[in-house]
Amino acid sequence: MPRISINDRADITLPDGRILRPERRFADETIQTHQKTLARMNLPHVEIGGVKYIDVGAALEAIADRMKRRNEPVRKKRLA
Protein backbone atom coordinates (compact mmCIF):
# COMPACT_ATOMS: atom_id res chain seq x y z
CA MET A 1 0.00 0.00 0.00
CA PRO A 2 1.59 3.32 -1.06
CA ARG A 3 2.09 6.11 1.43
CA ILE A 4 -0.26 9.09 1.25
CA SER A 5 1.58 12.34 0.61
CA ILE A 6 0.81 15.40 2.71
CA ASN A 7 -0.87 17.09 -0.27
CA ASP A 8 -3.23 14.13 -0.76
CA ARG A 9 -4.53 13.99 2.80
CA ALA A 10 -8.25 14.72 3.09
CA ASP A 11 -9.91 17.29 5.31
CA ILE A 12 -11.31 16.03 8.61
CA THR A 13 -14.83 17.12 9.48
CA LEU A 14 -15.52 17.05 13.21
CA PRO A 15 -18.97 16.17 14.63
CA ASP A 16 -19.57 19.81 15.63
CA GLY A 17 -19.10 20.91 11.99
CA ARG A 18 -15.56 22.32 12.23
CA ILE A 19 -13.12 21.41 9.46
CA LEU A 20 -9.50 20.45 10.01
CA ARG A 21 -7.31 20.92 6.92
CA PRO A 22 -3.66 19.89 6.53
CA GLU A 23 -1.35 22.88 7.05
CA ARG A 24 0.22 22.76 3.58
CA ARG A 25 -3.17 22.64 1.81
CA PHE A 26 -4.52 25.40 4.07
CA ALA A 27 -1.56 27.60 3.12
CA ASP A 28 -1.80 26.86 -0.61
CA GLU A 29 -5.57 26.85 -1.15
CA THR A 30 -7.18 28.92 1.59
CA ILE A 31 -4.88 31.88 2.23
CA GLN A 32 -2.52 31.42 -0.75
CA THR A 33 0.77 31.84 1.06
CA HIS A 34 3.82 29.71 1.80
CA GLN A 35 3.76 27.12 4.56
CA LYS A 36 6.64 28.84 6.42
CA THR A 37 4.69 32.10 6.54
CA LEU A 38 1.76 30.20 7.99
CA ALA A 39 4.00 28.57 10.61
CA ARG A 40 5.23 32.02 11.72
CA MET A 41 1.63 33.10 12.33
CA ASN A 42 1.42 30.57 15.19
CA LEU A 43 -2.17 29.57 14.44
CA PRO A 44 -4.05 27.00 16.54
CA HIS A 45 -3.43 23.51 15.18
CA VAL A 46 -3.73 19.81 15.97
CA GLU A 47 -1.12 17.22 15.07
CA ILE A 48 -2.53 13.90 13.86
CA GLY A 49 -0.18 11.21 12.60
CA GLY A 50 2.72 13.65 12.42
CA VAL A 51 0.79 16.08 10.18
CA LYS A 52 -0.34 19.53 11.34
CA TYR A 53 -4.05 20.11 10.80
CA ILE A 54 -5.43 23.64 11.05
CA ASP A 55 -8.96 24.42 12.26
CA VAL A 56 -10.14 26.52 9.30
CA GLY A 57 -12.69 28.67 11.14
CA ALA A 58 -10.45 29.38 14.14
CA ALA A 59 -7.45 30.16 11.92
CA LEU A 60 -9.36 32.59 9.71
CA GLU A 61 -10.75 34.28 12.81
CA ALA A 62 -7.23 34.59 14.30
CA ILE A 63 -5.93 36.07 11.04
CA ALA A 64 -8.84 38.53 10.88
CA ASP A 65 -8.19 39.67 14.46
CA ARG A 66 -4.61 40.59 13.53
CA MET A 67 -5.60 42.66 10.50
CA LYS A 68 -5.73 46.42 10.79
CA ARG A 69 -7.33 48.89 8.46
CA ARG A 70 -4.81 50.90 6.46
CA ASN A 71 -4.31 54.44 7.71
CA GLU A 72 -6.35 53.72 10.79
CA PRO A 73 -6.77 56.94 12.80
CA VAL A 74 -4.99 57.13 16.12
CA ARG A 75 -7.37 56.73 19.01
CA LYS A 76 -7.03 59.49 21.55
CA LYS A 77 -7.37 58.78 25.22
CA ARG A 78 -10.30 60.38 26.94
CA LEU A 79 -9.66 62.33 30.07
CA ALA A 80 -12.03 61.32 32.85
Phi, psi at 55, each rounded to 5°: -75, 110
pLDDT at residue number 20: 92
User: So what's the pLDDT on residue 15?
Assistant: 92
Give 4-36 pLDDT, tens digit per residue.
776 678 888 989 999 999 988 888 888 888 888
pLDDT tens for each residue of 31-77: 888 888 888 888 888 998 888 899 999 998 888 888 877 776 777 77
Is 43 within 8 Å of 54 (Cβ atoms)?
Answer: yes
Distance CA 27, CA 11 (A): 13
Task: Output the pLDDT for position 6.
Answer: 63
